[in-house]
Amino acid sequence: MTRVGTNPNKKQRRDWRPARVSGLMVTHLPNTKGYHEGRLAVIETAIRSMVMNAGQPLELFIWDNASCGAGVKLLRGLQAEGLITGLMLCSQNAGAALAKYWLTRMAPGEIVAYSDDDVYYYPGWLRPQLELLEGFPRVGAVTGAPLRSMFDWGISSVLAFGQRPDARISRGRFIPEQWERDFARSVGRDPETHLRERAASQDIVLEYAGLRAYGTAHHMQFVAWRDVIAQFEPDEPALMGSQRAMDERIDNQGYLRLATTERLTRHIGNVLDAEIAGLPIGAAA
């Protein structure tokens, strides 16, 4: 006898339908020492704020790149809590870029909201990004963390779009300096040195159909149409290399890279400081 009874799942009804937006995150915690000593709290804050501050349905799918036992325990606990819908535990480190690409292609939602594992999300972060994604034509990516340095590359499509008769483009200093200081600290740079180096930089703002956006995006966090962003496979083997190449390929294919004019997300870094630890999670927008 090769079979006993009938599989009871055959007659079960499948009630789950994927949410329109799939949250995606790549995690990696090789150990909890040195550089990674405080990252367990950072990863938990990224996950909780992304899901609980979205303000609308969002299902989170995580690709974990060979994290240590403490990292896996955290992820499994958050999945049991209902914050993670799908969890891929990879025994090898595929690298951030490749893992992001594979995760995007597996996402069930028509829209993906990608995040590195060290990003804080303010309450109501998702809706304004969707408004830009759906309101502008041919959008490649929308971020909620506008940064002045991101205007240095991948903006040719934005500049071309700004010449349309139904669009308006402006240049100036619009991004608050405090946002730049916060980012500099999160990546271990001296904020005042960072500001001096950016003294001559200008921001670019696009206006179209009653919407206003910065003409750039950040690959650490973005919202995109799944079928658009899944076209751009990374071509570099480095685990932690620059991801400018993907930004530039999106731009070269004629897609806009945009950012909200309000700060909806921000980079944490490898330590959860008192300020970010005190920001709301699960609060109304």
pTM over cut 0.75: yes
Give the pair of three-digit tokens for residue 49. Answer: 């704020």
Q: What is the per-residue pLDDT for 234?
A: 78
φ and ψ of 198, to 5 deg: -105, 15
- What is the torsional sign of CA 103, 106, 109, 110? positive
Residues of the chain with pLDDT under 50: 239-241
Give all domains of the chain, ordered by start, each with its CATH number: 19-277 (3.90.550.10)
Q: What is the per-residue pLDDT for 240?
A: 46
- Residue 97 has a CB neighbour count (10 Å cut-off) of 23
Coil, helix or strand for 72? helix
DSSP structure class, residue 135? H
Burial letters for 223-235: b for 16+ Cβ neighbours within 10 Å, e otherwise? bbbbebbbebebe
Rg (CA), the chain: 20
Q: What is the per-residue pLDDT for 284?
A: 67
Q: Are 110 and 20 in contact (CB under 8 A)?
A: yes
Q: CA-CA distance, 87 to 38, in Å (whole number)?
A: 22
Q: CA-CA distance, 132 to 210, in Å (whole number)?
A: 10
* The length of the chain, given as a count of residues: 285
Q: CA-CA distance, 85 to 25, in Å (whole number)?
A: 12
Give the pair of three-digit tokens for residue 123. Answer: 């309450």
Q: What is the per-residue pLDDT for 4?
A: 81
Q: What is the 3-class SS of 166-179, one letter each residue?
A: CEEEEEECCCCHHH
Q: What is the per-residue pLDDT for 9?
A: 72
- What is the torsional sign of CA 255, 97, 154, 50? positive
Q: CA-CA distance, 78 to 87, in Å (whole number)?
A: 10
Residue type, 93: N
